[in-house]
C-alpha cells in the first residue's frame, strides 16, 4: 500500500469495507455479509496496490479487469468501488438490493460502473474471466506487442479475480481452468477464498479434494495457502503471479468467513443472511467500530481513498502516454485495433457474403463455412471455434488464419491465430465466448451441435442478460441428424432458446438466408445471436418476384405468394421451408392457394410494425399452419386458436434421415393430408 497508510489506517479501511457490507445487508434484510468480512483485507490490497484502473473511466480499454466470481459477495465489490471513486455514491450502497438501484444483489454488467461481468451463477465469473484473459493475449499477439518502459500497445493488462469453494465445486470451473492452463494464460490471476464454508455447513460435508494439486495438474502456477490477513505475503504472491508469464496463477487464501462477528465467525450462518441487529452491535464492538452511524466512512479513510483514486488516474495518464508512443511507432496496428474496437465492417457486407450462393443446394452448415471463409479477410477481428466438432462444420477450422494455443505452428506466437480449439468443453466454451466479447476487441463465435446448447444455456442466458454480442453457431438442428439417434436429435431446444429474452435465433433455409443472417448479426445485433443450421442438404429456395435481401432482416417474408387473400398461410424456418413449398404445391392441386412464409428470425419479425406482421401472417380467420421438425410451440402465437402447429410431441429415433421423416410425418404428402383434415375439422 501507499507509504501514507499506517497499520492503524489500514485496519480502519478494512473495517470500513466490512461494515459497509454488514450495514447494507442489514438494511436490505437479505444478502451475504460473511465473504466481504473475510475478504476485506485481500480486496483492499488488490484494489489499492495492484489493479490498474481509472475510476472516472471504467471502460478504459487498457485497464486491468477484476471479476468477482462469487457474486453473492457483491457488497465487497460495491464497497471497494465506492471507496475508490467510481460513480457509486453512498446512497446507492444504502439501497443495496432495492428496485432500480445500481447495487443489485449480485453484480450486473451495465448496472454498476466497474462491474466487468454479471456474476452469481457459480463458476461462470471464473470461466468468463478465462475468456477475458484469452482476449487480452490475442490482442497483444495480433495487434499490440510486449510493453516496455517507453511504449505500450493494447493487450498487456491483467485479469484478476476472486472465486470461492462454490465456484470450485461447479464442473464449469474445472473445464475453464483446464483450457486456461493448456493455453498458458499468464495474464490471468485468481484469488481462491478458501474459507471451508458453504451454505449448508463446512465444506467437509461434500468437498475434500486438493484444490492446489488440481490446479497445478491443469498447468497453473499455484501459491499458498496463505493467511487471508497476511497482506504482505499476498502482495508478494501477486507480484510473482505477474512475473509468471506462461501460466495462469491461483493464490490460495485461507480466510475466515464473517471475520469479527463473535456469533457467526467461521460458521455457515455468515454466508447467506444478515447478522441481525444484536450481532451487528457485537461485531462492531469486537472490531472497535462505532455502532453509529451506520454506513460509516471515516474522514481519514475517505481522504486516503480519494488520494489513491487520483493516483490511479495519474497512472492511467502515464500508460496513455506510453500508448501514444506505441501508436506513433505502429500506425498500421493502431488502425487495426481501432477498427476492431469500433466494429468496422464493409457497408455492403450482406451482398458480399451472399455472392455465389444463389441456386446452390447445400446444408446450411456448409453455407456457414463458406461465409466464415469470406469473413477471414473482411473481419480480421472475428475469432472462434468449436467444441471438438470442426470436422462437422460446427463451425469449421479456417486453415488460412492459424490456430490458438500450443497447436500453433512452431515458431509462431501461440496467440497469433484465430481458430480456437475449445475441446469437449461446451459449458466453458460459451462462457469464454462471452468473456472475449466483454473484452471489447475481438468478435467471438463458438459452436457445436444444437443438442449441446443445453450445456451452454447458462452462459447464453448471461450473454442475453448482459446484452453482449456473443455469437453461437449450432448445427445438426433437428431429427434429420438421423442415425445418431434421439440423444443427438434436438426436439425442444429451439423453443427453449427462443424463450430467452434478448437472444436473436436465426434458422436460415438456404445459402442466401445464411449469408444475410451473418451480416445482420455482425452489423446490427446489439446482443447475443445464434444460428441453427442443418446437417442435411437443402435445396436453394425459389423466391417470389420482388424479393429483397433486406426482407430477411425483417425476420420473415413470403417465399411464395399466390396474390390476393390466400386460403392458408404456411410458416416455417430452416429445413422446413422447402418442405412447406412442396406442401403448398400439393395443396394447390386441391384448389388451395397457400402463402409460404420463411421466418428465419422470429425475434426480428416481432419487432416489425404490427400492420406489417398482420399483412404477412393475418389474424382474420385465415388458416395459419406452422411446420417445424421439433416441438414448434414458439409458433403458437402466430397460428391462433384455429391454426395448427405441425411439430413433434416425442423424441426422435436412430434411423436414416429419410426414414425418420416418413416415420415422424414430415413428408409433403403427410403434411398436406394433415392440413386438409385440420381444415375439415375446423369447418374451413
CB 382 within 8 A of CB 445: yes
**Active-site residue, selected from the candidate residues 426, 513, 576, 628:** 426
Residue 662 has, within 13 A of its CA and on its CB side, a CA count of: 4
Tell me the CA end-to-end span of the chain in Å, nearest whole number.
80
DSSP assigned state of 314: H
Q: How far apart are CA 152 and CA 327, in angstroms?
A: 9
> How far is CA 630 from each of CA 150, 469, 666, rounded to the nearest angstrom?
59, 27, 11
- Please give the helix or strand (H or E) that residue 67 lies within, else none: strand 65-68
The strand pair at 249-254 and 221-227 is best described as parallel
Q: Nearest Cα to 567, choosing from 626, 641, 625, 623?
A: 623
Q: How far apart are CA 575 and CA 508, in angstroms?
A: 8
The strand pair at 201-202 and 197-198 is best described as antiparallel
Q: How far apart are CA 551 and CA 677, in angstroms?
A: 32
Burial (CB count <10 Å: 0-12, 13-18, 19+), residue 262: exposed
116: annotated active-site residue: no
- Please give the helix or strand (H or E) that residue 254 lies within, else none: strand 249-254
Burial (CB count <10 Å: 0-12, 13-18, 19+), residue 348: exposed
Residue tagged 406482421 (cell numbers): 613
Query: Residue 133 corresponds to which cell in the numbers above?
Result: 484473459
* Residues classed as catalytic: 426
Amino acid at each position: 500500500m501507499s507509504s501514507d497508510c499506517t497499520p492503524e489506517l489500514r485496519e480502519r479501511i478494512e473495517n470500513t469495507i466490512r461494515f459497509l457490507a454488514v450495514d447494507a445487508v442489514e438494511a436490505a434484510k437479505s444478502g451475504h455479509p460473511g465473504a466481504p468480512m473475510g475478504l476485506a483485507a485481500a480486496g483492499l490490497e488488490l484494489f489499492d496496490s495492484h489493479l490498474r484502473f481509472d475510476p472516472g473511466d471504467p471502460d478504459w480499454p487498457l485497464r486491468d479487469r477484476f471479476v468477482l466470481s462469487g457474486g453473492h459477495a457483491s457488497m465487497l465489490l460495491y464497497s471497494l468501488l465506492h471507496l475508490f471513486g467510481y460513480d457509486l455514491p453512498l446512497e446507492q450502497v444504502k439501497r443495496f438490493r432495492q428496485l432500480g438501484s445500481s447495487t443489485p444483489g449480485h453484480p450486473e454488467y451495465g448496472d454498476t460502473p466497474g462491474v466487468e461481468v454479471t456474476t452469481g451463477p457459480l463458476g461462470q465469473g471464473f470461466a468468463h474471466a478465462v475468456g477475458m484473459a484469452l482476449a487480452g493475449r490475442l490482442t497483444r499477439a495480433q495487434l499490440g506487442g510486449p510493453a516496455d518502459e517507453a511504449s505500450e500497445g493494447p493487450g498487456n493488462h491483467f485479469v484478476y479475480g476472486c472465486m470461492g469453494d462454490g465456484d470450485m465445486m461447479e464442473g464449469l470451473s474445472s473445464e475453464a481452468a483446464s483450457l486456461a492452463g493448456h493455453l498458458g494464460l499468464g495474464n490471468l490471476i485468481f484469488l481462491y477464498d478458501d474459507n471451508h464454508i458453504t451454505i449448508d455447513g463446512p465444506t467437509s460435508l461434500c468437498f475434500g479434494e486438493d484444490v492446489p494439486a488440481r490446479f497445478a495438474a491443469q498447468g497453473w502456477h499455484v501459491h499458498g495457502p496463505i493467511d487471508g490477513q497476511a497482506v504482505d505475503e499476498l502482495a508478494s504472491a501477486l507480484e510473482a503471479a505477474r512475473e509468471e508469464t506462461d501460466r495462469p496463477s491461483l493464490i490460495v487464501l485461507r480466510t475466515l468467513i464473517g471475520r469479527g462477528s463473535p456469533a457467526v465467525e467461521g460458521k455457515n450462518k455468515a454466508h447467506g443472511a444478515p447478522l441481525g441487529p444484536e450481532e451487528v452491535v457485537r461485531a462492531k464492538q469486537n472490531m472497535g467500530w462505532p455502532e453509529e452511524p451506520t454506513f460509516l466512512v471515516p474522514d481519514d479513510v475517505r481522504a486516503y481513498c480519494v488520494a489513491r483514486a487520483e493516483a490511479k488516474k495519474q497512472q492511467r495518464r502515464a500508460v496513455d502516454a506510453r500508448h501514444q508512443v506505441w501508436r506513433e511507432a505502429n500506425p498500421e496496428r493502431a488502425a487495426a485495433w481501432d477498427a476492431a474496437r469500433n466494429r468496422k465492417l464493409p457497408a455492403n457486407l450482406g451482398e458480399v457474403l451472399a455472392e455465389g450462393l444463389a441456386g446452390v443446394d447445400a446444408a446450411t452448415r456448409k453455407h456457414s463455412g463458406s461465409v466464415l471463409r469470406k469473413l477471414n479477410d473482411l473481419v480480421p477481428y472475428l475469432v472462434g471455434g468449436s467444441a471438438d466438432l470442426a470436422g462437422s462444420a460446427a463451425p469449421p477450422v479456417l486453415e488460412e488464419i492459424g490456430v490458438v494455443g500450443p497447436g500453433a505452428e512452431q515458431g509462431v506466437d501461440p496467440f497469433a491465430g484465430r481458430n480456437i480449439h475449445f475441446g469437449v468443453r461446451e459449458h466453458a466454451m460459451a462462457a469464454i465466448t462471452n468473456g472475449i466479447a466483454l473484452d471489447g476487441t475481438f468478435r467471438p463465435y463458438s459452436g457445436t451441435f444444437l443438442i449441446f446448447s443445453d450445456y451452454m444455456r447458462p452462459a447464453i442466458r448471461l450473454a442475453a442478460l448482459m446484452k453482449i454480442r456473443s455469437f453461437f453457431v449450432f448445427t445438426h438442428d433437428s431429427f434429420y441428424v438421423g442415425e445418431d439417434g434421439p440423444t443427438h436429435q434436438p426436439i425442444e431446444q429451439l423453443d427453449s432458446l427462443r424463450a430467452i429474452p434478448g437472444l436473436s435465433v436465426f434458422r436460415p433455409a438456404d445459402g442466401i438466408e445464411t449469408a444475410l443472417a451473418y451480416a445482420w448479426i455482425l452489423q446490427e445485433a446489439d446482443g447475443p445471436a445464434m444460428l441453427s443450421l442443418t446437417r442435411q442438404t437443402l435445396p436453394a429456395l425459389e423466391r417470389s418476384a420482388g424479393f429483397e435481401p433486406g426482407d430477411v432482416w425483417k425476420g420473415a417474408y413470403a417465399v411464395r405468394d399466390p396474390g390476393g387473400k390466400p386460403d392458408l398461410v404456411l410458416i416455417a424456418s430452416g429445413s422446413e421451408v422447402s418442405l412447406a413449398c412442396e406442401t403448398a404445391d400439393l395443396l394447390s392441386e386441391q384448389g388451395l392457394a397457400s402463402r409460404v412464409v420463411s421466418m428465419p428470425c422470429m425475434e426480428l419479425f416481432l419487432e416489425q410494425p404490427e400492420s406489417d406482421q398482420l399483412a404477412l401472417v393475418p389474424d382474420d380467420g385465415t388458416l395459419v399452419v406452422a411446420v417445424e421438425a421439433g416441438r414448434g410451440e414458439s409458433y403458437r402465437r402466430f397460428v391462433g386458436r384455429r391454426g395448427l402447429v405441425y411439430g413433434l410431441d416425442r423424441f426422435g429415433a436412430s434411423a436414416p434421415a429419410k426414414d425418420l421423416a416418413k416415420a415422424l410425418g414430415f413428408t409433403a404428402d403427410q403434411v398436406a393430408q394433415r392440413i386438409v383434415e385440420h381444415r375439415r375439422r375446423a369447418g374451413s
